[in-house]
Amino acid sequence: MEFKSGYSAVLVLACIAGSSSVGVRADGFPVTRIPAPGGEVVFANPGEREEMYDQLHYAAARRAGDFVYLSGVEAGPFEKGDGTDVNAFKVQLRRAFAAIRASLVATGADFSQVVQMETFHNCRNKHNFTGDFQAQLDAMVAVKAEFMKPPYSTWNAFCIDRHYSERTVVEIVVTAYAPKAKP
């Protein structure tokens, strides 16, 4: 079974478990929260609750005290008509960074509070991206600059040969230090 990735699934949450609280993002998507020790699990993008949490048993975003941890957000040709060149990849990266922003905002954080970023680049699968690893990095630097301003987070980039989804070109993982306001 292959799950949609990159949080670009067209799934809409029809049912929300009774143990979770629900808010609504500005675009009308319901944000779901599940209390957890030291914080909460947050679902801010379509498909996260169903695919990640309910079926694969992991959280897309979790606040633990003053830290926010995001599972990997994948970028690649997931949408019908997506291309595999550098410009198409930049569009895919923008979707991924928009999903990251939605999760950060839903947890009370933003890009300025990201302290660590790790990217896992598929360097062998040429049918999803026609460029090389350097072209991936160049596109990543360009799009990252649209979302992340100084002071910059740490960043580790890894070249790997497989992701969960066969269409993934890169997976982006971030950690933010975002202290909650004291009442």
In a domain, 14, yes or no: no
Which residue type is seen at 18?
Answer: G
Could you report the per-residue pLDDT of 137-168, keeping only the tens digit for each? 999 999 999 999 999 999 999 999 888 889 99
CATH of the domain at 30: 3.30.1330.40
In a domain, 44, yes or no: yes
In a domain, 7, yes or no: no
pLDDT for 165 equals 87
In a domain, 1, yes or no: no
In a domain, 156, yes or no: yes
In a domain, 183, yes or no: no
Going by the DSSP 8-state scheme, the letter that residue 131 receives in this structure is S
pLDDT grade for 30, boundaries at 50, 70 and 90: confident
Q: What percent of the chain has pLDDT over 70?
A: 84
* Domains: count for the chain: 1
Tell me the residue range of the domain where 166 lies: 21-177
In a domain, 106, yes or no: yes
* CA end-to-end span of the chain: 45
Region 56-69 average pLDDT: 95
In a domain, 73, yes or no: yes
